[in-house]
């Protein structure tokens, strides 16, 4: 296995004994899965609500912490934010949007791209311990047990359950503790949302940008996000090849 040095841009061969001391911690949404690839059947939530997709993304991701800490119901949250952007939205639209959201998230969880799965399996074969950290509401991970991703991780931290969220260094440190690996021996792989790379650095991990899903939904953000990471890769398979030299 090849290991990123602290600069993130050079590699060295790892001795076999080191393999079990290396961990890769992943973000979930926009990194391993996306609501856009592959798209679920039906209309998008923003379309149903009659709001601009970009505005909807902004208000949804910048809302207070109650939802990602599991203290707020998704229906109440969606209803409140929809009415903020579209005062004329109807209850029927809101109910339709909630149903579409549930379908879309489950579709993404279950229909994970084979490339992502193979990359993760490759890392496991070479002795890497794998962790997952996600800022999410309870409804967003309801279908997690059905996902082919679920058996591939040694520890999974959902903010709504552990009551911590990125970029708080504590959630990264908890992942490292659960993986029995020092943070300095961890890569953190994500799309750069939620200021997650800064949090990873503060916790002692090396941040890596994965661009596969950003290319579809937010390609214009990639150059700036790449500046925040030590390394940028397109896919989990590319990361696996880079680390293992295979």
Among candidate residues 109, 132, 164, the one where a domain is terminated: 109
* Same domain for 67 and 53: yes
Residues 178 and 66 in one domain: no
Average pLDDT estimate for 137-152: 97
pLDDT at 212 over 90: yes
pLDDT tens digit string along 214-245?
999 889 999 999 999 999 999 999 999 999 88
- Mark whether 71 and 179 lie in a shared domain: no
**pLDDT above 70 for 18:** no
Give the count of domains, the chain.
2
Which of residues 109, 129, 153 is at a domain's end?
A: 109
pLDDT greater than 90 at residue 5? no
pLDDT in tens, 157-191: 999 999 999 999 999 999 999 999 999 999 999 99
Shared-domain flag, residues 66 and 22: no
The three-state DSSP-derived secondary structure of the chain is CEEECCCCCCEEECCHHHHHHCEEEECCECCCECCECCECCCCCHHHHHCCCHHHHHHHHHCCCCCCCCCCCCHHHHHHHHHHHHCCCCCHHHHHHHHHHHHHHHHHHHHCCCHHHHHHHHHHHHCCCEEEEEECCCHHHHCCHHHCCCHHHCCEEEEHHHHCCCCCCHHHHHHHHHHHCCCHHHEEEEECCHHHHHHHHHHHCCEEEEECCCHHHHCHHHHHHHHHHCCEEECCHHHHHHHHHCC
pLDDT in tens, 44-80: 999 999 999 999 988 998 888 999 999 999 999 999 9
Q: Are residues 119 and 205 in the same domain?
A: yes
Residue 239: CATH number of its domain: 3.40.50.1000
The per-residue pLDDT for 246 is 81
- Looking at the structure, do residues 219 and 150 belong to the same domain, yes or no? yes
Q: What is the pLDDT of residue 228?
A: 96
The parent domain of residue 201 ranges over 2-36+112-244
Quick one: 72 and 97 in the same domain? yes
- Asked if residue 96 and residue 28 are part of one domain, the reply reads no
Same domain assignment for residues 61 and 141: no
């Amino acid at each position: 296995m090849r290991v990123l040095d602290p600069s993130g841009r050079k590699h060295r061969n790892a001795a076999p004994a080191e393999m079990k001391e290396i961990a890769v911690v992943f973000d979930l949404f926009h990194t391993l899965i996306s609501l856009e690839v592959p798209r679920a059947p039906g209309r998008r939530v923003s379309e149903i609500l009659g709001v601009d997709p970009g505005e909807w993304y902004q208000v949804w991701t910048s809302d207070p912490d109650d939802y990602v800490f599991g203290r707020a119901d998704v229906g109440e949250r969606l209803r409140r934010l929809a009415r903020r952007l579209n005062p004329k939205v109807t209850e029927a639209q809101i109910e339709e949007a909630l149903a579409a959201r549930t379908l879309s998230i489950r579709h993404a969880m279950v229909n994970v791209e084979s490339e992502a799965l193979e990359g993760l399996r490759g890392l496991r074969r070479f002795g890497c311990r794998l962790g997952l950290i996600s800022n999410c509401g309870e409804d967003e991970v309801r279908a997690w047990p059905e996902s082919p991703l679920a058996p591939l991780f040694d520890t999974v931290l959902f903010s709504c359950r552990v009551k911590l969220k990125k970029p708080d260094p504590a959630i990264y440190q908890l992942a490292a503790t659960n993986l029995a690996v020092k943070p300095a021996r961890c890569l953190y792989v994500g799309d750069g949302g939620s200021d997650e790379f800064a949090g990873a650095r503060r916790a002692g991990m090396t941040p890596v940008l994965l661009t596969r899903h950003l290319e579809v939904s937010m390609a214009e953000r990639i150059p700036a996000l790449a500046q925040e990471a030590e390394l940028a890769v397109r896919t989990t398979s590319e990361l696996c090849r880079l680390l293992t030299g295979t």
